[in-house]
């Protein structure tokens, strides 16, 4: 089939676009490389000899990220669950209850029941507000500040603590990812239809049983992609621990740069290692996402960059 | 088997149930009818304590269950429930839907529960679908699985909350047939439904509820052909039309 003139023009333009793109990219890389290392050249020997050190630092990055991530997942689940709780103000509840008790006897049994009800919903109310506040505080402050804050708390109260920086760093990352994962869990739990819980309870499962056997399995399916995204975000965010002197990948790179003065090589390597970790991981997410997605039910991933 | 005494329920300022009392003897099929918003569903949920009554007593097999020293989970094990929108667990196969309760609530071992589950599925005519997922079934099939799920707990009674209202017309028959068979086998049932055929052929007794109170109760032919109250007459006229 003969192509129309218009189509020919379009495909020619496309080829031109591609060529121009390649030329520009190569030119830009050459320019930047020259700008950065034109004077000294890239020292491959140095990079090769320093690989073990970088690997150890990468290990620490993984360690810090993974520990914080899973501790934060526990927090996130509880926070997310608490934030799905429905609460009524105690005053309103008492008013409603009094309204119909007025024309009935108010025996001690009714009183006890009312007391129990108020205590239970009061507890729910308080837990809910604490969870809300926690998420507000974490999301409303920069991670950088949270790290310095955690460090300052430890350095003031327990200055002799072993590995103080590492502990402060893990604590800050845990608290941070806890809030973000809390939002992911909340979204996931809210997506599961309320009839599912009702059916689970009707079978005789407890609150926790319904959560564990019915709601969580359905919610997890939906939130695996955003949760994995959160891991990537946290891994990148762990580079901020450089500020309190943790020798993870970025921290190690900084010390190494000052020691050897091979500044460009060091940070080229640091950048490359982060990319080697995050790019495959995000491909994995995409694969999971396309496999698990239920049309119309997907949950938006939280922006992992917005915290910094 | 089931007895409720002077049940009241408020939702905020709304007084949904205003003192309802009735008895369901063993092996009776009781049908509850009434306009929407009259409190039928809430009443059913008060029986298995999915909704806790503000006032009044609920007895199951002679035991008052809405007491602080009885876990509501225990009460719910005694009484099965079938929902308007099926509410099958979407992430589990049909067989796992049926066996979840026996395994996790009653602590039955897996093999025994599955054996029993398969028998129950055969009873509702769905043995070949044991390993399908709910989303792969028609509405009528899903509702029959839901009935098997309720039966799996060996309940003393089953509550049906408009079990055919969400079904396409061609699937209503199969669900009603299963329910009628249950009634014949002597299951105690409380059914909220507007299926007049089912109500007149299967039910021993009908309660007409409006605005949170029982307006009239009686045998199906009394309620449908010779209603005593004006409100009953108006409502029956509308649904029989």
Name the residue with higher pLDDT: A120 or A239. A239
A198, A201, A203 member nearest B100 (Cβ): A203
Crossing angle of the two packed helices A249-260 and A263-292, in degrees rounded to 10:
160
Task: Give residue A119's pLDDT.
Answer: 83
Residue B99's pLDDT band (cuts 50, 70, 90): very high
pLDDT at residue B116 is higher than 90: yes
What gap in Å lies between CA B170 and CA B140, rounded to an integer? 9
Task: Give residue A57's pLDDT.
Answer: 94
Of A258, A230, A236, A263, the closest CA to residue A248 belongs to A236
Percentage of chain B beyond pLDDT 70 is: 100
pLDDT at residue A300 is higher than 60: no
| 8 A C-beta contact, residue A205 and residue B103 | no
Q: What residues of A are in contact with residue B113 (Cβ under 8 Å)?
A: none
Task: Give residue A295's pLDDT.
Answer: 41
pLDDT at residue A74 is higher than 50: yes
Percentage of chain B beyond pLDDT 90 is: 80
**Once rounded to an integer, what is the mean pLDDT over residues B210-230?**
92
Helix, strand or coil, per DSSP, at residue B54: coil
Our CA angle for B202, B206, B208, nearest 5°, is 145
Least confident of A8-17, A68-77, A157-166, B86-95: A8-17
Q: Is A103 an interface residue toward B (CB < 8 Å)?
A: no
Q: Is B93 an interface residue toward A (CB < 8 Å)?
A: no
- The DSSP annotation for B169-207 comes to HHHHHHHHHHHHHHHHTT-EEEEE---HHHHHHH-SEEE
Mutation for B interface: A86, A191, A204, most B CBs within 10 A: A204
**Once rounded to an integer, what is the mean pLDDT over residues B166-186?**
94
| Number of cross-chain residue pairs from A and B with Cβ atoms under 8 Å apart | 77
Q: What residues of A are in contact with residue B106 (Cβ under 8 Å)?
A: 204
pLDDT at residue A204 is higher than 80: yes
A113, A116, A202 member nearest B81 (Cβ): A202
CA distances from B203 to B148, B156, B193 (A): 21, 17, 11
Task: Give residue A296's pLDDT.
Answer: 38
Task: Give residue A112's pLDDT.
Answer: 75
H/E stretch holding A88: none
Q: What is the mean pLDDT of chain A?
A: 84
| 8 A C-beta contact, residue A98 and residue B13 | no
* Predicted confidence (pLDDT) per residue in B122-135, tens digit: 999 999 999 999 98
pLDDT at residue A106 is higher than 80: no
Helix, strand or coil, per DSSP, at residue B241: coil
Does the predicted model carry a pTM greater than 0.90?
A: no
* Predicted confidence (pLDDT) per residue in A49-70, tens digit: 888 899 999 999 999 999 999 9
Task: Give residue A90's pLDDT.
Answer: 67
* Predicted confidence (pLDDT) per residue in A156-188, tens digit: 999 888 899 999 999 999 999 999 999 999 999
Task: Give residue A298's pLDDT.
Answer: 42
**Once rounded to an integer, what is the mean pLDDT over residues B159-183?**
94
pLDDT at residue A214 is higher than 90: yes
Beta-carbon separation of A202 and B50 below 8 A: yes
Residue of B nearest to A91 (CA): B12
Residue A222's pLDDT band (cuts 50, 70, 90): confident
Q: Tell me, what's the ipTM?
A: 0.91
pLDDT at residue A47 is higher than 90: no
Task: Give residue A233's pLDDT.
Answer: 95
CA end-to-end span of chain B: 34
**Once rounded to an integer, what is the mean pLDDT over residues B68-87?**
92
Q: What residues of A are in contact with residue B55 (Cβ under 8 Å)?
A: 100, 104, 110
Residue A244's pLDDT band (cuts 50, 70, 90): very high
pLDDT at residue B164 is higher than 70: yes
pLDDT at residue B43 is higher than 60: yes
């Amino acid at each position: 089939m003969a192509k129309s003139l218009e189509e020919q023009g379009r495909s020619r333009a496309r080829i031109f676009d591609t060529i121009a793109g390649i030329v520009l990219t190569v030119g830009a890389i050459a320019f930047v490389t020259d700008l950065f290392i034109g004077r000294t050249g890239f020292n491959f020997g140095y990079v090769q000899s320093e690989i073990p050190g970088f690997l150890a630092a990468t290990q620490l990055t993984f360690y810090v990220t993974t520990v914080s991530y899973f501790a934060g997942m526990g927090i996130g689940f509880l926070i997310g669950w608490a934030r799905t709780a429905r609460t009524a103000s105690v005053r309103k509840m008492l008013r409603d209850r009094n309204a119909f008790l007025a024309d009935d006897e108010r025996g001690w049994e009714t009183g006890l029941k009312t007391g129990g009800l108020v205590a239970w919903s009061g507890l729910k109310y308080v837990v809910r507000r604490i969870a809300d506040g926690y998420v507000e505080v974490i999301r409303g402050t920069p991670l950088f500040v949270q790290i310095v804050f955690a460090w300052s708390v430890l350095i003031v109260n327990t200055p002799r603590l072993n590995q103080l920086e590492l502990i402060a760093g893990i604590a800050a990352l845990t608290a941070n990812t806890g809030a973000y994962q809390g939002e992911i869990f909340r979204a996931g739990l809210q997506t599961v239809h309320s009839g599912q819980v009702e059916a689970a309870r009707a079978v005789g499962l407890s609150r926790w049983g319904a959560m564990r056997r019915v709601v969580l399995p359905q919610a997890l399916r939906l939130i695996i992609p955003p949760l994995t995204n959160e891991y990537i975000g946290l891994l990148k965010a762990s580079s901020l621990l450089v500020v309190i002197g943790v020798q993870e990948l970025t921290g190690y790179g900084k010390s190494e740069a000052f020691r050897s003065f091979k500044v460009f090589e060091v940070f080229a390597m640091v950048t490359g290692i982060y990319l080697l970790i995050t790019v495959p991981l995000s491909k994995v997410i995409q694969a999971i996402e396309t496999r698990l997605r239920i049309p119309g039910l997907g949950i938006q991933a939280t922006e992992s960059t917005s915290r910094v | 088997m089931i007895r409720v005494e002077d049940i009241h329920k408020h939702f905020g300022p709304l007084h949904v149930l205003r003192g309802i009392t009735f008895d369901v003897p063993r092996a009776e099929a009781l049908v509850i009818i009434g306009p929407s918003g009259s409190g039928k569903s809430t009443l059913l949920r008060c029986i298995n304590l999915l909704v806790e009554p503000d006032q009044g007593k609920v007895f199951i097999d002679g035991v008052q269950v809405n007491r602080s020293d009885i876990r509501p989970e225990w009460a719910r094990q005694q009484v099965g429930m079938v929902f308007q929108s099926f509410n099958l667990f979407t992430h589990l196969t049909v067989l796992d839907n049926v066996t979840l309760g026996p395994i996790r609530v009653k602590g039955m071992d897996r093999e025994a529960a599955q054996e029993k589950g398969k028998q129950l599925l055969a009873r509702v005519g769905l043995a070949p679908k044991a390993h399908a997922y709910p989303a792969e079934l028609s509405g009528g099939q899903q509702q029959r699985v839901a009935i098997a799920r309720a039966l799996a707990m060996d309940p003393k009674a089953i509550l049906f909350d408009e079990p055919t209202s969400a079904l396409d017309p061609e699937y209503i028959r199969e669900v009603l047939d299963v329910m009628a068979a249950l009634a014949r086998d002597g299951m105690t049932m409380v059914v909220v439904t507007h299926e007049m055929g089912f109500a007149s052929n299967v039910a021993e007794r009908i309660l007409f509820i409006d605005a949170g109170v029982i307006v009239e109760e009686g045998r199906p032919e009394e309620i449908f052909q010779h209603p005593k109250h004006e409100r009953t007459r108006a409502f029956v006229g509308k649904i029989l039309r």
